[in-house]
Structure 1
Amino acid sequence: MGRRPTNNRNLPSLGRRLSELNRLENLSPSDLERIERIMREAENLDRFNIEDLIIVSDRPTPDAREDESKPTLRARDVSRTIEDALAEPQLPAERDALKVVAGSVLERLREKFPGTLPDGPVKPGDKGAELPVNTEALAKLIRVAAINRSEGQSSVIWDDGINQLIVHPGRLKATVTEGRIRIDIPVEADGLRASMQVPFSVGSDKRKTGLVMATLDRPAGNAMVARIWGDPLIALAHGALVDVAGKMAGASGRDAENKELVVRGLTARRGQFTVETQAEIPLRRFLR
């Protein structure tokens, strides 16, 4: 076993990536102050390279030419298939709509694009397919996931005993840029109508971060809503994004023990979000 060599000169600093979060609209002075504080704390993290912790096997990798010849899925094909699956008749409320949609999407992709998804069991730890989707299709899947998390309701009322907030999971939007994804959640309260923005810094083509994600301690948008409902709003956005990735990965293939594949990593480029998959590594391997 060995460590993967890295070249820090070619990797964007964490501080520089976090600094781009302050370009979001509707940031209050307190939001800007928190970003500055996070950036100052991140200066020491810039010297730390997460890829130095990635342990890779000394087993020879497959021939590069073989990887290049293997067909891969394109974002437009995956996105079009998602659109087709979501156009089907409405699913029964008692079913996991996201799991059904993901299963339908991957089944259609397997039929339409042979060889792009694993045909047989994937060995423990081995990589599966990469599943790219465009922003619009991703937003639709996130809405399905958020509605699932809201007991099947496209609009819900949150009540903490003192305050109430109307949240619209069925109207969530997404914006995907290099290494970042932002989820906008429409809310209402006492005549207020606002969009709360939850940004996540994820991996990119140049910097792989696996499942590591970073965000602010509060959503951007209305300061009072962020103060009272910040944590639940972040949880809704994060949970919906993780649900989408997990269900898509699980429907893409199986491992040698017939378990669903899991998420290996998340990457974002402008207008495209990609879920990388792999077979789970059994914990017993490390308990010998």
Structure 2
Amino acid sequence: MAERTPESRHHADEPAAPLDEACARLLKLVRSRCPGLLPDDPLRPGETAEPVLTDPKRAATLINLAARQAAVLRADGRPTPEPEELPHAVLWREGADALLVEVGSVATRFATGLVTVLVPVRCDQVPHGRAVVEVEFVVGSARRPTGLLAATSEPRGPAVVIRRWGDALAALAWRAVLDTVGALAAATGRDTDGTALVPAALTADREGLSVQAQARHPVDRVRQGQVAFAPAPGPVRP
């Protein structure tokens, strides 16, 4: 078998030669016939990937997991528990008020341009002690893309719950959706710096949740080994 000469070898730190038309067509065919067999090429700064659709069942499962993670986010920076250790319910307290939020039973419905997160809650002030609060987000659709913009109104549910906990429940639901979108974008691929892609657009319909990922723009690129965040300096002593 013929051996490549040293001059013909390609080094990782050298730019690859552009693909000829036949090779590009073959690569496209392999990726379409055998998805996942070859890694996607890294995106250049600002480039977008093809939208990835996640079916309703899987998307709802991811949002449920994200809600459970959001319920135990730690301000001290410690990692959240493993999925099997995440809580299925959390108790919110403020003064004399309390609400049990069943994060493990969070469900999600999808329609054209709509994502509705259903959050079961428990307290003594609602009939039978349990109710479901619906938080609806108006997002983009295939015919009416809106990027990552979303709108919501007051959650639907018992007035006694909405009046006291409506904003917090809406924030929990949106955090779960946003974390899910971010995770799906990151799983799509990486940019030329090796950094995970970020979400650029979100659409919804009865087929599920569609996320379009994008490589970071040059102004906010994060290169390997680069310090993105550093602790604030302490007070200057005379």
TM-score (norm 2): 0.69
Change (3 A) 1:70 1:181: farther
Could you say which residue in structure 1 is the equivalent of 2:218?
282
Pairing partner for 1:269 from 205, 216, 221: 205
Which one has the largest radius of gyration?
Answer: 2
Pairing partner for 1:214 from 136, 148, 151: 151
**2:62 aligned with 1:141:** yes
Aligned residues: 178
How do residues 1-288 of structure 1 correspond to structure 2 at under 5 angstroms? Answer: 113-114=36-37, 119-151=40-72, 152-190=86-124, 191-216=128-153, 218-283=154-219
CA distance in structure 1 between the partners assigned to 2:30 and 2:218 by the alignment: 28
In structure 2, runs of 5+ residues without a counterpart are 1-24, 73-85, 222-238
Q: Which amino acid aligns with 2:102?
A: H
Render the CA deviation track for 1:93-120: whole Å, top value 9, x for unaligned.
Answer: xxxxxxxxxxxxxxxxxx85335xx623
Secondary structure of the structure 2 residue equivalent to 1:240: helix
What is the identity percentage for the equivalent residue pairs of Structure 1 and Structure 2?
36
In structure 1, runs of 5+ residues without a counterpart are 1-65, 74-110
Query: Is the CA contact 1:180–1:202 (under 8 Å) kept in the aligned structure 2?
Result: yes
Q: Which amino acid aligns with 1:214?
A: A
Query: Is the CA contact 2:31–2:37 (under 8 Å) kept in the aligned structure 1?
Result: no
Larger helix fraction of residues: 1
Could you say which residue in structure 2 is the equivalent of 1:99?
none
Query: Is the CA contact 2:71–2:103 (under 8 Å) kept in the aligned structure 1?
Result: yes
Query: Is the CA contact 1:179–1:204 (under 8 Å) kept in the aligned structure 2?
Result: yes
CA distance in structure 2 between the partners assigned to 1:147 and 1:226 by the alignment: 20
Render the CA deviation track for 1:162-184: whole Å, top value 9, x for unaligned.
Answer: 21000011101111001111000
CA distance in structure 1 between the partners assigned to 2:105 and 2:151 by the alignment: 23
Deviation at residue 201 of structure 1 after TM alignment: 0.4
Q: Which amino acid aligns with 1:173?
A: A
Deviation at residue 194 of structure 1 after TM alignment: 0.5
CA distance in structure 1 between the partners assigned to 2:139 and 2:95 by the alignment: 35
Deviation at residue 192 of structure 1 after TM alignment: 2.2
CA distance in structure 1 between the partners assigned to 2:30 and 2:159 by the alignment: 48
Change (3 A) 1:272 1:284: closer
Query: Is the CA contact 1:250–1:262 (under 8 Å) kept in the aligned structure 2?
Result: yes
Secondary structure of the structure 2 residue equivalent to 1:275: strand
Secondary structure of the structure 2 residue equivalent to 1:128: coil
Deviation at residue 284 of structure 1 after TM alignment: 6.6
Query: Is the CA contact 1:129–1:252 (under 8 Å) kept in the aligned structure 2?
Result: no
Query: Is the CA contact 2:113–2:141 (under 8 Å) kept in the aligned structure 1?
Result: yes
